[in-house]
Structure 1
Amino acid sequence: MTILQWGAAAVAFSALAGCATMGNQTPEQQVEARAAAYWKARATSDHKTAYSLLAPAYRNLASEQDFVKLHGAGANVKETGVAKVTCEAQDRCTARVSLTAKPMVPGLNLPLVTTYMDDTWVLEQGQWWRFQAP
């Protein structure tokens, strides 16, 4: 085997190992990771990543530009997190998400505020996606 073939074999093995790791995760763990990625992308105005984590059914109806128009350019979110994930059915989970932001009120220096919200995730085409109503 040449060095190039060894390198290709190592890359292939690494990819398969990564798939095996994902396959061993519970639905709750998979949703937690994807919800964390979605909200981190939203907090950092990474629209492309946030949009890519939305359900294919939504992306068939709305463009990335439509998504940005709906949600704006970004928010003053300082921290995001996933507190808990509960799966109600085989194809539906709810992620309890925490968002910490600094309220922007002219003339006032307000402290950071943390709020929680429930985020729905659905299983489509073997992958978990954030549900977004059209």
Structure 2
Amino acid sequence: MVLLPAALAACSLLAPKPDAEIVKARAEAFYKARLAGDAESAYSFAAPSYRAVTSLDRFRQRHVVGTHLQGVEVVNVECESQASVCTARTRLDFVPPPVMVGGRAESVGGVQSTYRDERWIKEDGGWWRYFDPLK
């Protein structure tokens, strides 16, 4: 009788995590790397098919350098049933870059927020952030 609860607990530890939980954790880790300016770590979350055609330097220029992110929250993740695609709804907090007014740069304001739906795909047995290599 004492072994039954222990056996059930062990089974729950071995049970695979739901895809949405895995994607949420990976999305949070991806943005943690971006916020830290760690392009190499952020790049490691991109799909292998993307990394095969896009260099780290190109990724850094497009997705890390010059960003004004202040904070990120992965609000929720929805995965398509029987599919290898999940969408992570993400709130991005950022400071807009200054605008030129009368020949001088002026601040647009403080921290602003926006929401973005980001696609994660299952490829080579793992979950990866989808980036369009043509953009």
* Cα offsets for 1:73-102 (capped at 9, x unmatched): 141211111001010243100000111012
Kept in 2, the 8 Å contact 1:22–1:30? The answer is: no
Q: Which residue in 2 is equivalent to 1:32?
A: 24
CA distance in 1, matches of 2:15, 2:44: 21
1:112: how far off? 1.1
Query: Where in structure 1 do 4 or more consecutive aligned residues deviate above 6 Å?
Result: none
Whether 2:57 is the aligned partner of 1:65: answer yes
Q: What is residue 131 of structure 2 aligned with on the other side?
A: 132
**RMSD between aligned residues:** 2.1
Answering whether residue 84 of structure 2 is matched by residue 91 of structure 1, we say yes
**3-state SS in 1 of match to 2:80:** strand
- Report the equivalent of 1:108: 107
The structural deviation recorded for 1:44 is 2.0
Q: Is the 8 A contact 1:97 1:116 kept in 2?
A: yes
Contact 2:37 2:64 (C-alpha < 8 Å) held by counterparts: no
Q: Mark the runs of 5 or more structure 1 residues left unpaired by the alignment.
A: 1-16
Q: What code does the residue aligned with 1:56 have?
A: P
User: Partner letter of residue 99 of structure 1?
Assistant: L
Q: Residues of 1 paired with 2:96 and 2:49: CA distance?
A: 34
- Post-superposition Cα deviations, 1:45-71, rounded to whole Å, max 9, x if no partner, equal 110111000000111111111211223
What amino acid does structure 1 have at the position aligned with 2:84? Answer: D
Q: Choose 1 or 2 for highest CA Rg.
A: 2
Change (3 A) 1:23 1:70: farther
Q: 1:108 deviation in Å?
A: 2.9
Structure 2: which 5+ residue stretches go unaligned? 1-9, 99-104
Question: How high is the TM-score relative to the length of structure 1?
Answer: 0.77
Count residues in correspondence. 116
